[in-house]
Amino acid sequence: MKIKEPKFNDAQQKAVFHNKGPMMVLAGPGSGKTLVITHRTKQLIEKYHIEPSKILVITFTKAAAEEMKNRFQRLMGGKYVPVRFGTFHAVFFTVLKYAYHFNANNIIRESDKKRILLEIIEHLDLDMEDTNDFIKDITSEISLVKGEMISLEHYFPMNCPKDVFQKIYTRYNQALERKGWIDFEDMLVMCYDLFVQRPDILAQWQKQFTYILIDEFQDINKVQYDIIRMLAKPEDNLFIVGDDDQSIYRFRGAKPEIMLQFEQVYPKAKKVFLDMNYRSTQCIVQTAAMIISNNKKRFPKNIRTENARGTEVAIREFETVKAQNERVVELIQSYQKQGVPLSEIAILFRTNTQPRALLSKCMEYNIPFVMKEQVPNIYDHWIAKNMIAYFQLALGKRERSLFLQVANRPKRYLSRQSFDTAEISFERLRTFYQDKKWMLDRIDAFEEDLQMISTMTPYAAMNYIRKAIDYESYLEEYAAYRHIKVEELLDLLDELMEMAKPYRTYKEWFQHIQKYQEEITQKTQKKQNEMEDGVAFVTMHGSKGLEYEVVIIIDVNEGIIPHQKAVLEEDVEEERRMFYVAVTRAKKDLYIFFAKERFQKEQSMSRFVAELLQAEGNDSE
């Protein structure tokens, strides 16, 4: 069964019927890029008589490759056509399979990678509080070093001292070698080396794939690009589709500048702008254009839409985050009454720790929600565990594990050897240090502090631990060691204190923690078992490629978006692109919310909102 050709606009027509040579297709949000890639593939076969097996279509995720393949198969009337659809890793691993007889067992599993790094950290005796986060961050850095082919000597790590990173990196690679394993980045580097050293093998693959189409090209990294350039020779039938304004993965090694320099590398390349947005209203398209126009390093574009003007974008400031969250709940309930499916409403935020209070509010009002990514449980964080350990000791518990958690947070210089039994008594500690007067003073102070804490509310106790015991000094030391801003840790402590405020006793607070944990676990299991109709909670990163009738962006404050880590101009531009991606998810209604105060600290609106208000003078809901 032949599928009727859709009506292409002029730009789509040019892209779909492009024949030979390089072409760059700049595809704005909602402009039909998948349609262009699948139809161009079809035209290569039917109009230009290219053998299907010589066409390679590359996407960045397995799911995207599968979806593209299915759409293409439907387009071809459901019959099997041997066009190759795959991710960079899948394609390059195929090359390595033929060259080195690798199989799936040679690829390291994520669980093994985590185990190896955990063993290395333990062996190096690193005192890590947030081991899981550290492993995640270090994994990203290892990927970055390999993907950028940076020499270890010239790399300055973001998460720990340089000598520590070098040891971890070296030992990790030695462990892989011993096991005969490779990771995803090794696939790329090995494929690159193979093509450089073996022109005969490269020539075979060049003959195999004479037409290459790449989706989401703005997310490409250096080694991927270098391999693709070799593979596309000598004809350079390279058809790249992407949007430099939606490049938001620099932390993974993505380089938007590769796309910006494409015409310099390929001077004969044709360029097409897919500038018609079929998704959003005029108000949303204009707002998005105002935001992104403040970026300097980009292709200038004039995105249009033939959709209705729609309702004005609502930009609103609230006195507190609590007031903001209450308004979000009101909005959800109002849309529900109007018959808008909950799955068509999305709450977007910069980091996955932000919406915790809002999630609690939704639980309180029985509003179903779906978390697209895991929202970390604040009570699983090591700072929360430290507070809980202090409270349990204050309430008379004496397990060794509780002492080990907080004895030197802040530093009291109590050695592990002094905690030599399953149950610890202060008398036993005094006996251990009986000849050291200064240590006995510290032990006395520790016991007196616990006595004080036992008489307080959870909120007051946290404040006491933070200020009087000087837990903050420990956080400062730890932040310096981990190369993170202490504000990130203090913000978490603020949030923890804010959530503890309503509870008068430790018993009440512990009951709340248990209930909260049960609800979060239930939600996570539900997400795995069934997709319910619920409000979507999604990070800006996670929202890419999605669309909703109603989008509410929360906490659009300076320091959150752009994130406080964004110091360099290129980082700020990436944050602006992320905000642009969030805004362009909305089809009909868009809300941009921010608060004057967060955890008793004054906040200012994001500079991105200030730019918007300056451009349009719209500051009302």
Task: Please state the pTM of the whole predicted model.
Answer: 0.86
Phi-psi group of 448: left, alpha or beta (phi > 0 → left; psi -120 to 50 → alpha; rest → beta) = alpha
298 contacts 292 by C-beta, under 8 angstroms? yes
The region of weakest confidence among 17-21, 23-27, 102-106, 517-521 is: 517-521
Does residue 73 register a pLDDT over 90?
A: yes
The two tokens of residue 83 are 């066009």
Residue 529 is predicted with a pLDDT of 46
Which residue type is seen at 378? Answer: I
Angle between helices 184-197 and 199-208 (to 10 degrees): 110
Q: How many other C-beta atoms are found inside a 10 Å radius of the C-beta of residue 90? A: 15
Identify the band that residue 567 occupies on the pLDDT scale cut at 50, 70 and 90: confident
Question: 218 with 243: CB under 8 angstroms?
Answer: yes
CA distance 399 to 456: 22
Average confidence (pLDDT) over 529-538: 77
- Beta strand pairing call for 586-598 and 601-602: antiparallel
Residue 1 has pLDDT above 60, yes or no: no
Rounded CA separation 384/500 (Å): 11
The mean pLDDT value for 404-431 works out to 89
pLDDT tens per residue across span 589-611? 999 999 999 888 899 999 999 99
In this model, does residue 527 exceed pLDDT 60? no
Residue 375 has pLDDT above 90, yes or no: no
Please give the pLDDT value at position 59: 93
Cα dist from 492 to 383, 486, 556, whole Å: 8, 10, 18
The amino acid that residue 179 corresponds to is: K
The pair phi, psi for residue 469, each rounded to 5°, is -80, -15
- Mean pLDDT computed over 524-538: 70
CA distance 489 to 409: 14
Query: How far apart are alpha carbons 141 and 164 in whole angstroms?
Result: 13
Please give the average per-residue pLDDT across 207-225, as a whole number: 94
Q: State the burial class of residue 95 (Cβ atoms within 10 Å of its Cβ: 0-12, 13-18, 19+).
A: buried
Higher pLDDT, 476 or 621: 476
Summarize pLDDT for 475-513 with one digit per residue, the tens.
999 888 888 888 889 989 998 998 899 999 999 999 999
pLDDT exceeds 80 at position 84? yes
pLDDT > 70 in the chain, percent = 97
- Looking at residue 373, its pLDDT comes to 77
Q: Is the pLDDT of residue 417 over 50?
A: yes
pLDDT score, position 444: 93
Residue with tokens 């067992």: 105
Contact yes or no for 535/346 (Cβ under 8 A): yes
What are the tens digits of pLDDT across the range 166-181? Answer: 999 999 999 999 999 9
CA–CA separation, 51 vs 71, rounded Å?
19
* DSSP state letter for 542: T
The 10s digit of each residue's pLDDT in 261-293 is 999 999 999 999 999 999 999 999 999 999 999
pLDDT of residue 383: 94
Specify the 3-state DSSP secondary structure of 316: strand
**pLDDT at residue 20 greater than cutoff 70:** yes
pLDDT at 385 over 90: yes
Q: What is the mean pLDDT of the chain?
A: 91
The residue-averaged pLDDT of 178-197 equals 94
pLDDT score at 619: 43
* Residues 241, 187: Cα–Cα separation, whole Å: 24
pLDDT at 326: 95
Residue type, 393: L
Task: Please provide the DSSP assignment of 398-419 as one string.
Answer: -BHHHHHHHTTSS-----GGG-
Give the model's confidence band at 525: pLDDT under 50 very low, under 70 low, under 90 confident, else very high: low
Tell me the per-residue pLDDT of 438-466, one tens digit each, with 9 for 90 and over.
Answer: 999 999 999 999 999 999 999 999 999 99
